[in-house]
Amino acid sequence: MSARKILILNGHPGQTSLSKSLCAAYQAAAEENGHLVRCHDISQMQFDMDYGQGGYKNPKPLEPDLAAFLEDLEWAEHVVMASPLWWGAIPAKLKAVFDRALLPGRAFDTRNVNFVGLPAPMLTGKTARVLLTSDTPALLLRLFYGNAVKKFISRQILGFVGIKPTRFSTFAPATDAPEAKVKTWLAAAGGLGAKAA
């Protein structure tokens, strides 16, 4: 397999987390297999989470961390995002990365709309993998909640700007998971990284 350009985004706002460990396992295996990796960790990113009153016509300038993230998103061929499931969705700071960084003219083209009025995506040709940690088992997430968080991420965020398909790996139940189980999950993340999958 030829080397792929991979962006990894750890979407857990804590300094330490299972999400961060999964990202590290993925990165180590990907780099060991010759893939090019750039990483961002929202616990380290500094930016104003509030979009404010500017609107798309007068957006706030991107802070350096957001500008670097967007540049790496444009550079990448494959996007890996790790996130916990909190209250049925992703953490607020992770959502804020997309609120602030996915702007018209860079992520989608409002001057070019389809027959239902949706803007043309500008980040096409990329795939994604989401490493989702949860206390809700994957089966219950599908049966009880209709995989709402997966639809939100894959269709309303990544798919909207052209990144698809998005594949998911769910690690649950995550709170107080036994060490042996965590090792299995980290090995699985490493396996994905080795294949840039």
Instruction: Give the pLDDT score at 58.
Output: 76
pLDDT for 129 equals 98
Asked if residues 77 and 44 have their Cβ atoms less than 8 Å apart, the reply is no
Average pLDDT, the chain: 95
Residue 59 has pLDDT above 80, yes or no: no
Q: Which of 87, 71, 82, 102 is nearest to 42 (CA)?
A: 82
pLDDT of residue 53: 67
> Tell me, what's the pLDDT at 54?
64
pLDDT at 6: 98
Token couple for 182 = 């965590």
Which pTM value belongs to this model?
Answer: 0.95
Tell whether domain 5-195 is in CATH 3.40.50.360: yes
Q: pLDDT tens, 110-165? A: 999 988 889 999 999 999 999 999 999 888 999 999 999 999 999 999 999 999 99
User: Angle between the 179-195 and 18-32 helix axes, to the nearest 10 degrees?
Assistant: 40
pLDDT tens digits for 3-29?
A: 999 999 999 999 999 999 999 999 999
Every domain of the chain and the residues it spans: 5-195
55 pLDDT higher than 70:
no
pLDDT confidence of residue 187: 98
Summarize pLDDT for 32-51 with one digit per residue, the tens: 999 999 999 999 999 999 87
